[in-house]
Amino acid sequence: MSLDNPKYKKMLDDLLDECRKHLAGVNEALITKAFEFSLEAHKNDLRASGEPYFSHPYEVALIVSNEIPLDDVTVVCALLHDVVEDTEFNLDLMIKEFGREVAEIVDGVTKISGIFKGQEITQAENYRKLLLSMVKDVRVILVKFADRLHNMRTLEFVNPDKQRRIAQETIEIYAPFANRFGLGQVKWELEDLSFKYLNREAYEEIARKIKSKRKERESYIKKFSEPIILKLNDYNLKFEINGRPKHLYSIYRKMVKRNKPFEEIYDLFAIRIILDTENSNDCYTTLGIVNQMYLPVPDRFKDYVSIPKTNNYQSIHTTVIGPEGRLVEVQIRTKKMHEVSERGVAAHWRYKENKAASDKELENWVNWIRDIFENASKEDARKELLESFKLNLYQDEIYAFTPKGDLRRLPVSSTPVDFAFEIHSKVGYHCIGAKVNGKIVPLDTVLHSGDQVDIITSKNQHPNKNWIKFAATHKAKTAIRKWLNKEEEDIIDAGKEVWEKKIKKLKLSFTPSDVAKLTLNLKYETPKLFFKAIGQGKINLEEILTATKEKEEKKEKILGFDNFANLARTDIGGVLVDGKNSGILYSYAKCCNPIPGDPVIGYITIGEGIKIHRKTCTNLLRISEKDASKLVPVQWPEGEGSLFVAGLRIMGEDSPGILNEISHSIVSYQNTNIKSININTSDSSFEGSVTIYVHNLEHLSRIVDRLRKMKGVYSVERFESA
């Protein structure tokens, strides 16, 4: 394929002719180079229609040269717009062959195309904003509009499902977007073509009815216009007058909205008078002529010439009563006003779409586009505008989308974590990683408009406190904090549960003040932090509680023994020194804590009188070696019937009647008398103490043996000092 082929030579000549007609400056060499490059790149490809694929970029280039003209760079980009996406040639080659400016526009068109491939169209307004936020050069959008327009014109060659999907996408996104860009004619055509494939039955019925009334309408418009034409000629005004084109989708939408049949909607005739003049006063002269010919309807007059709409739309609208009493809407405007209306600004976009005041920025931005169109013929102004044209609309937001095409609007600096929580809190909580545009990235990667984000989850993953540092959305931060707080509470609760099970197992009891004291002793500020440390396994609770239990048991043992010893000694009346109760000061040694029944001896101390020791006391043996002269004989007085009090500690398995069994075992041996008995049960075990009167140690040993042989008794020990 080359320009030696007459067919392609003619195609290039036709394109260059259109460029010369509509563009201020034309780099013919660059356009020719792009033409040849595209022809070569697509030489082996066919369209669904069976035509060579090159016919598509060529037609798109024709559209941007004569239907939505801006400059020659746009024509070059139109020729090349599918090369990177559909052939083996890459962006680096584009930069090398055509420069960075052309390459960036081609790349922008490719990215926009990628957004919609195979996606369901939902949240159309978000998609429009996404397009705006992605595009830094207005020419990207113009090429995309031309690309879509040609695709819609040739949509008959693709399968019905694809027809509907593309038509839906066009009517929801591209048509309203074209309207905002001031491309009125493009908008109407995109809507009508979409309507054709989305509701063919309604489309064909309306088209048929319009066709059937065409001659009648043309005849009426001619009859209505003739007297106006004569009068305008009398005033030497240059003008063109014609019936306003009726767009099928517009008629259909009015039928649905007003719930009226075609005949009532279509019955309103409309003409447009376009004056070839620079003087806007000629519009009022024309209005006066129309009102002389026909009676005006008072409440149907609007003057947008003296007071333009906020988007600079200018025209006079009036409705008059024509022949046969029919209403006719008349629009009067200059040629320049008509150009602005059709191509220079988004005519009616604010008025008809009833957009909120927040779109003021967009309105101003569309006026920039109008300036670009209006100044396209002034080379310097055009270049200056294009160079300074950077899109900052929605700069505080980005638009990223899921692999299924769902849009998510996020603040600038958002990360995959923000995106995950935007989808659902469960996705956020279990987010372990992300793919952005197909590549795995860290969770703190900053997202950009147009990014496709695929969140990777794991049921074992949970938020950690580092996420707070890079999360940008309030939703994500709140959810992360909520999780971390809940996680902490769960750990504290788990710690409490472990604590309670352990103290129950070890038969310990702690008051809140006991827990607070233990917490402070272990260097934790609050019990909550103490329980958290238990839950996290940072504390060897077994070791702490075992030490506490031993301490408690020792304390209990000492207290229990001291109570018993005092009772036993008081009961027997103390000791006799040298065989008599002489009133000499004495006390019982803490090192061996003798009790009635133990062989004892006294030791004279300085300042504390006589200390009573067991004869087997190692401490006594050590001090007596130094000075045996301080030893004095002492003895327990003989009790009632030579009895003394002995104490026993019993532990065993709890069972019904255990107290009776213990009592019976003691009493049934030599009618042993019980002084006191106390049993405490916990879960399935018991622990208790018994004080009894015995004659001697032999008597006591027999009782101990009897008790140890009882079923369920673990241990029987005599009260001893700790």
Q: Is the pLDDT of residue 593 over 80?
A: no
Residue 420's nearest CA partner among 454, 460, 466 is: 454
- Check 36, 40, 67, 86 and give the catalytic one: 86
Of the residues 36, 85, 303, 329, which is catalytic? 85
Q: Is 299 a catalytic residue?
A: no
pLDDT category of residue 33 using cuts at 50, 70 and 90: very high
Interhelix angle 124-134/100-116, rounded to 10 degrees, is 160
User: What pLDDT is recorded for position 275?
Assistant: 94
* SS3 of residue 683 by DSSP: coil
* pLDDT tens profile 394-420: 346 777 888 877 778 788 889 999 999
Residue 466: φ, ψ to 5° = -65, -25
pLDDT(389) > 50: no
Q: Tens digits of per-residue pLDDT, 625-666?
A: 888 888 888 887 765 555 677 778 888 888 888 888 888 888
pLDDT, mean of residues 683-691: 80
pTM of the model: 0.52
Contact 321, 297 (CB under 8 A): yes
pLDDT above 80 (res 192): yes
pLDDT at residue number 388: 38
Q: Which of 94-98, 146-150, 338-342 has the lowest mean pLDDT?
A: 338-342
Mean pLDDT score, 574-594:
73
Phi–psi pair at 580, nearest 5 degrees:
-145, 160
Q: Measuring CA to CA, how many Å separate 673 from each of 267, 280, 717?
A: 124, 131, 18
Q: Select, from the ranges 68-72, 93-97, 134-138, 461-465, the one with the highest average predicted confidence (pLDDT).
A: 93-97
Task: For 185-216, give one letter per residue: b (16+ CB within 10 A) or e.
Answer: ebbbbbbbbbbbbbeeebbeebeebeeeeeee
* pLDDT reading at 707 higher than 60: yes
Give the Cα separation of 152 and 201 in Å (integer): 18
**Average pLDDT, integer, range 154-172:** 88
Mean pLDDT of 335-340: 78
pLDDT digit string, tens, across residues 278-300: 899 999 999 999 999 999 988 88
Residue 193 has pLDDT above 90, yes or no: yes
pLDDT of residue 636: 77
Has 86 been annotated as catalytic?
yes
6: Cα within 13 Å, side-chain hemisphere:
0
